[in-house]
Amino acid sequence: MSPSRWTRSAFLFLAFFVSFVAVDSAVAHAVLLESLPALKGSVNGPDIPLKLRFNVRIDAARSRLTLVDSDGSTQALEIGRQDPPNTLSAQAKGLRRGAYRLRWQVLASDGHITRGEIPFTVVKP
């Protein structure tokens, strides 16, 4: 095999490998598509339904939702059991007026963990 042909073959192999890895990593993680409350949104309290919808099936049993108050205190939330396979829901009860963050951690069906936060404000208790 001539050096130029070998170089071309190696380049094609490398290009294929890089594109395969890029596609694999793009589909590997759960991406948040929609949230209730919305990112930086305002809601009326004191009881607030929470809902997160992702682009892939997630393992709700191994996922977590945590509510963080403006003073930094945290409250683990119970995830609903009747949700579609790409959705998590919970209920936050007794919230006072103020800023909150909903921390989420999900396990996608392919085994990858994804985390994020949704800041929101309660305007009426």
Taken in order 86, 88, 63, 84, the sign of the CA dihedral is: negative
For the chain, the domains span 1-28, 31-124
**CATH class of this structure's domain 31-124:** mainly beta
What does pTM read for this prediction?
A: 0.76
CA-wise closest residue to 104 among 2, 45, 17, 35: 35
> Can you give the pLDDT at residue 121?
97
Residues of the chain by 3-state class (helix, strand, coil), percent to 5: 25, 45, 30
User: 11 pLDDT band (50/70/90 cuts)?
Assistant: low
> pLDDT digits over 19-75, tens only?
544 444 445 689 999 999 999 999 999 999 999 999 999 999 999 999 999 999 999
> pLDDT digits over 63-113, tens only?
999 999 999 999 999 999 888 999 999 999 999 999 999 999 999 988 999
Long-range residue pairs from 99-102, CB within 8 A, at least 24 positions apart, any chain: 99/70, 100/67, 100/68, 100/69, 100/70, 101/67, 101/68, 102/35, 102/37, 102/50, 102/65, 102/66, 102/67, 102/68
